[in-house]
Structure 1
Amino acid sequence: MKASQLTGVFLDAATMGQDIDLELLNALPLDWISYPYTSPNEVLERSNNAQVIITNKVKLDASVLSQLPDLKLICVAATGMDNIDLIAADALGVAVKNAKNYAGNSVAQLVFSLILELLNNTSKYSQRVQQGYWSKSKSFCLLDFPISELTNKTLGLIGYGTLAKSVEKIAAAFDMKVIISDHKDANTVREGRVSFDEVLKTSDVISIHCPLTAKTTNLISAAELNLMKSNAVIINTARGGIINEADLIEALQQNKILGAGVDVLTVEPPRADHLMLNTPLDNLIITPHIAWASVEARQRLLQQVCDNITEHFAL
């Protein structure tokens, strides 16, 4: 197929943000149509006659794919491909390519932003200043909230891919001890790994970096949270559903753990009445799935999407 005959559609271009350069995509020899967002009932109409689909989170299931005979390539503008029916795509001869290893620095930076906020209480101190507490203080400083150093603390990593290794590098700069969890159901512990339960029991900070699968759904529930130290914090920048949200809320309410920072929820965007958003807790930080989203990471992601298209069609 000649490049001049190729047509492509980006179904949810707004998920890339407005602050990156899309000229990389526009420079490809394809006729593009980009939509900010696409609802499920719009997918077929907008994808009709397209040889290339780019999607971040728009779902492409078997019923949709079977009605797109011209489709040759799906480019997922993310690493996770759970929104694509990969079995159906393979049966139909549609290639599916994702982006990899583009967000390590961005994810690690947010992980430590959450850790440091939980251990330094920076925002709480800033609020006290704005509220006038410092001006009224008899002392030169306020010591209303505990501050704890990371040096010599143990960081437990659950999942040990590129993202976790980026976190590990920063931990080394803080002189933290890093331990890596083996699988929860492992019969033997691999060299260089620590048993899952031992990671929970001994870590001061736990950072989750595994994919969401049937085995990792509710990987961290009440039983696992009860194993953790009462002064430990847990960070999830992986996928919502890996931590049982109701059990996490209960653990935080009862001070079974010191705190939690989560960048992902089971449903995104969450409903306004979501439990995690409507339980007042000063030891819980929730960010809106932004760990991947530095400007630099999103630009690298777009470059990979373009490279995937160029390679597939030999442009």
Structure 2
Amino acid sequence: MHIVFLDASTLHSGELDLSPLQRHGTLTTYPVTPPDQVAQRIHDADIVITNKALMSAETIAHAPKLKLIVSCATGVNQIDLDAAKSHQVVVSNVAGYSTPSVAQHVFTFILNFATQIPQFNAESRNWPNFPTFTSLAHPCFDLSGKTLGIAGLGEIGAATAKIAQSFGMHVQVLAREGSSNQTLPELPRLEHALFFSSSDFVSLHCPLTPATEGMINKESLSLMKPTAFLVNTGRGPLIHEADLAEALNSGQIAGAGLDVLSTEPPAADNPLILCKHPQLSITPHTAWSTIEARTRLLAGVTKNIDSFVAGSPNNRIV
């Protein structure tokens, strides 16, 4: 079999061993693949691995040998699933590999807001000139007793909730119509207005759907405390970015920690890229990317290929 990895640089930069992917044939890897080169690169492929490289209906139609597409991620929105089904191409993904990594990243944001470590570190080389042994320039606060509101109580949301509880925080969940409430059922589920108005931190972990797109907007931000912080390690379009920038600049909320934006890489004129608020922290979609998470992801991709070749596809989406 011919296996093609269209954007291997999204998984590693040389530190991972990709040889297990070669168990069933030849492996061709590309660091990235522009959209206009996908069709050419997969024309003779039996198996395609993609993280963000688009597998459109037209592309799939022009790959006559294609049998399996493996998403090197949990999401499969880069793949035209209807086209894959019509061409009898199996699609699989990898779930759960990044849960500890993302939950850790959420709390890195939260702890930095509570301790002001980035701000103090930026000034620390001037410590010899301080008039006293310490600095109160950036007020800190305890997490114990504060309230974390979680929107989306899946695996990552639940892991984040457990970390919060270990810090003595109260945890509450945004009520969602149709939710079974089986995950951590002891946590209170609050309706929209009360959830946003009573949370000291709001952390987003919900999927991107028509109902959740733009859920953070002028209305929801107006409900939040001026001392509250927003954290998003979920999906960028959950936030109306111009509204958040305005809320930060006006003092409507105290700060935000973002690992995702609506377009990635973002445009230079993205309102959050332009925002200079001292309590806005942005990381370039790295919450998922610990070496352990990427090792688990590679193992999941390999297992999907192995199971497909064995005749019983694992983690099958289509």
Shift of 1:24: 4.7
> Are 1:151 and 2:140 an aligned pair?
no
Give 1:36-51 correspondences, 5 Å limit: 36-51=31-46
> Are 1:210 and 2:206 an aligned pair?
yes
CA distance in 2, matches of 1:125, 1:309: 48
User: Is the CA contact 1:104–1:166 (under 8 Å) kept in the aligned structure 2?
Assistant: yes
Shift of 1:22: 2.3
> Are 1:286 and 2:282 an aligned pair?
yes
Give 1:298-313 correspondences, 5 Å limit: 298-313=294-309
Identity of aligned residues (%): 38
Shift of 1:216: 1.3
1:162/1:19 CA distance change after superposition, 3 Å: farther
Residue of structure 2 equivalent to 1:168:
161
Within the candidate set 268, 284, 292, 1:272 is matched to 268
Residue of structure 2 equivalent to 1:262:
258
CA RMSD of aligned residues (A): 1.7
User: Is the CA contact 2:100–2:159 (under 8 Å) kept in the aligned structure 1?
Assistant: yes
Give 1:1-16 correspondences, 5 Å limit: 6-16=1-11
The TM-score normalised by the length of structure 2 is 0.92
Shift of 1:263: 0.4
- String of CA shifts for 1:256-306, please: whole Å, max 9, x gaps: 111100000111011233221122111111100000000000000000000
CA distance in 1, matches of 2:123, 2:226: 26
CA distance in 2, matches of 1:248, 1:32: 44
Residue of structure 2 equivalent to 1:3:
none
User: Is the CA contact 1:44–1:67 (under 8 Å) kept in the aligned structure 2?
Assistant: yes
Return structure 1 stretches of 4+ with deviation > 6 angstroms: none
Task: Give SS of 1:311's match.
Answer: helix
Residue of structure 2 equivalent to 1:138:
131
Residue of structure 2 equivalent to 1:295:
291
User: Is the CA contact 1:11–1:53 (under 8 Å) kept in the aligned structure 2?
Assistant: yes
- String of CA shifts for 1:174-193, please: whole Å, max 9, x gaps: 0111111122xx39996752
When the two structures are aligned, how many residues end up with a matched partner?
306
Question: Which structure 2 residue ranges, 5 or more long, are not aligned?
Answer: 312-318
AA in 2 matched with 1:195: E
Shift of 1:19: 5.1
1:26/1:91 CA distance change after superposition, 3 Å: closer
> Are 1:105 and 2:100 an aligned pair?
yes
AA in 1 matched with 2:9: A
Shift of 1:65: 1.1
1:299/1:189 CA distance change after superposition, 3 Å: closer
User: Is the CA contact 2:21–2:302 (under 8 Å) kept in the aligned structure 1?
Assistant: no
Shift of 1:28: 1.7
- String of CA shifts for 1:202-226, please: whole Å, max 9, x gaps: 1111110111122211011000000
AA in 2 matched with 1:258: A
AA in 1 matched with 2:216: I
AA in 1 matched with 2:164: A
- String of CA shifts for 1:140-195, please: whole Å, max 9, x gaps: 10000110111011111101111111111211210111111122xx3999675222
CA distance in 1, matches of 2:14, 2:204: 28
> Are 1:178 and 2:174 an aligned pair?
no
Shift of 1:91: 1.7
Task: Give SS of 1:70's match.
Answer: coil
Within the candidate set 61, 75, 79, 1:80 is matched to 75
Task: Give SS of 1:156's match.
Answer: strand
Residue of structure 2 equivalent to 1:195:
191
CA distance in 1, matches of 2:193, 2:14: 43
- String of CA shifts for 1:43-62, please: whole Å, max 9, x gaps: 01100121100000001111
CA distance in 1, matches of 2:180, 2:34: 45
Task: Give SS of 1:270's match.
Answer: coil
> Are 1:65 and 2:60 an aligned pair?
yes
AA in 2 matched with 1:256: Q
Residue of structure 1 equivalent to 2:87:
92
AA in 2 matched with 1:95: V
CA distance in 2, matches of 1:189, 1:293: 30
